[in-house]
Structure 1
């Protein structure tokens, strides 16, 4: 079951932004908490990943930081309290000229409503990965393409290329982190019973699933299934099911013109009213307003050509 593909499909319910940032001086910059997910790729120099509660993590060129669900963090040339770092200016500015201590790519999916996709939400808030570029030269090529895309200012087609490049980089980084961490590092499961239930939820969200039906798919007693599913995935079965249905619904609202009644049926709701109520509780906005907001973002991206 390729859960990475499902992650990427649901990440893009927000707008993609990115730029190259160059930093000099003894300290660094701070990224406030935000609704979304993002990555940093260190291109030159060395720095430290700074968080509120954890020890600083040393980064070297090529290292990647994944912000799975928008946690506050910073990058600094020397270890430094997070609160003391100046806030970053995330306007689409060209890279600063002149000498610098470290340079990195910054890209993110900014969400207007709701939360980061649930598979990213159950990951650690911040993940540092040292990719094996020798074994995966395609990742280095993607980084170079992303750097060129973000270093040249506004270009024709940039609004389309940035999300595609971020998608591919995120897939490679998550896959390598998963390989480095093993089963304990990823919310996917090596438990065949739970994997069977997840597969059915992902492939057939329209089915009238209950804990009883899912436990039958898994071949487990209901209580044992609920306990193992919650341990493996990080959420109880029905909570996960609702989250997955609504993530799929958000993607369909963004990517299609299908009527609400059709989307409701595709993701397991009896009618558009049931879907609208559940969606509004999760995202804080009605499906219609969500769709209109997403269309406005895409229009702005197309007009600016900057992504």
Structure 2
């Protein structure tokens, strides 16, 4: 199973946004917690990543901060308490003119309905990464393209941003996740690509419409049921049946956004025997009915 592709695919049901922020005073900025995932890329200058409980982390040009599941955080030229930072005003605003201590590019998917993917929720709340640009120059190219797209959008000279911005966010986020996974020390703990768990995940992803049981999934993984449930929960972060439900509804959310298929047809394709059962499950997770979710447009929104 391609874990990163699954993460990106789930995030696409959210609202995509990006902007360049220039810190022209020394007060810093605070990003409140939100449902979704985002990143900052330091373009010029140096600053500190401020979190609620951890020690400040110094950042320089090229460094990336990944807010995997939208945790609150801040950036400032000098360390301070998170509560002392003024909250950033969301919106597609142009960067402030004048000299700046530092500037950074923001990108985010905001999920107005539904949870972030379990794999993102299982990551550390905030990840500071110094990418190896000399080994993967494509990341620098993608960042430059995203910065150019944001600048052209602010200037009003970028028709088609609605298509290009989400695509660039996908590519940058995928590359950042790939580099972070590559740098992890996985000795002594299960990996997300554990072959037995991957076999069960593959069955869920390829055949969500099947009436799966834990016994059937453990058989696909060639493991005893109890050991499978324990290992699956450790690797994925949630028990098998909860993951199955979330995966079914995530796929349904994408189908609602990307197709005109009737609700009854979508219900069958994701494993529900009736439109009523599907609608009830969807509302429990996404907080709205499938019809309302479909009618709500996905907007480009400033981070």
Fold-level similarity (TM above 0.5): yes
Q: Residues 180 and 86 (structure 1 numbering): CA distance in 2 closer, same or farther, change over 3 Å?
A: same
Residues 171-182 of structure 1 correspond to what in structure 2 (within 5 A)? 171-182=174-185
Displacement after TM superposition at 1:221 (Å) = 1.1
Corresponding residue of 2:246: 243
List gaps (5 residues or longer) in structure 1.
none
Displacement after TM superposition at 1:217 (Å) = 0.6
Q: Residues 290 and 188 (structure 1 numbering): CA distance in 2 closer, same or farther, change over 3 Å?
A: farther
Residues 73-84 of structure 1 correspond to what in structure 2 (within 5 A)? 73-84=73-84
1:115-159 CA-partner distances (Å, limit 9, x unpaired):
212221111111111111111111111100111111231321112
Q: Residues 145 and 185 (structure 1 numbering): CA distance in 2 closer, same or farther, change over 3 Å?
A: farther
1:209-228 CA-partner distances (Å, limit 9, x unpaired):
11000011111111111111
Distance 2:272 2:256 in 1: 15
CA contact (8 A) 1:178 1:186 kept: no
Displacement after TM superposition at 1:188 (Å) = 5.3
Displacement after TM superposition at 1:255 (Å) = 1.2
Corresponding residue of 1:35: 35
Distance 1:174 1:221 in 2: 32
List gaps (5 residues or longer) in structure 2.
none
Residues 277-296 of structure 1 correspond to what in structure 2 (within 5 A)? 277-293=280-296, 296=297
Q: Tell me which stretches of 4 or more aligned residues in structure 1 moved more than 2 Å.
A: 24-27, 182-191
Q: Residues 217 and 273 (structure 1 numbering): CA distance in 2 closer, same or farther, change over 3 Å?
A: same
Corresponding residue of 1:191: 194
Corresponding residue of 1:166: 169
Say which of 211, 214, 217 aligns to 1:211.
Answer: 214
Q: Residues 253 and 187 (structure 1 numbering): CA distance in 2 closer, same or farther, change over 3 Å?
A: farther
Distance 1:178 1:165 in 2: 20
Number of residue equivalences: 300
Distance 1:18 1:166 in 2: 8
Residues 22-171 of structure 1 correspond to what in structure 2 (within 5 A)? 22-152=22-152, 153=154, 154=156, 155-171=158-174
CA contact (8 A) 2:34 2:110 kept: yes
Displacement after TM superposition at 1:277 (Å) = 0.7
Answering whether residue 232 of structure 2 is matched by residue 229 of structure 1, we say yes
CA contact (8 A) 1:95 1:151 kept: no
Counterpart secondary structure, 2:164: helix
Q: Which moved more, 1:168-177 or 1:178-187?
A: 178-187
Displacement after TM superposition at 1:185 (Å) = 12
Q: Residues 204 and 244 (structure 1 numbering): CA distance in 2 closer, same or farther, change over 3 Å?
A: same
With normalisation by structure 1, the TM-score equals 0.93
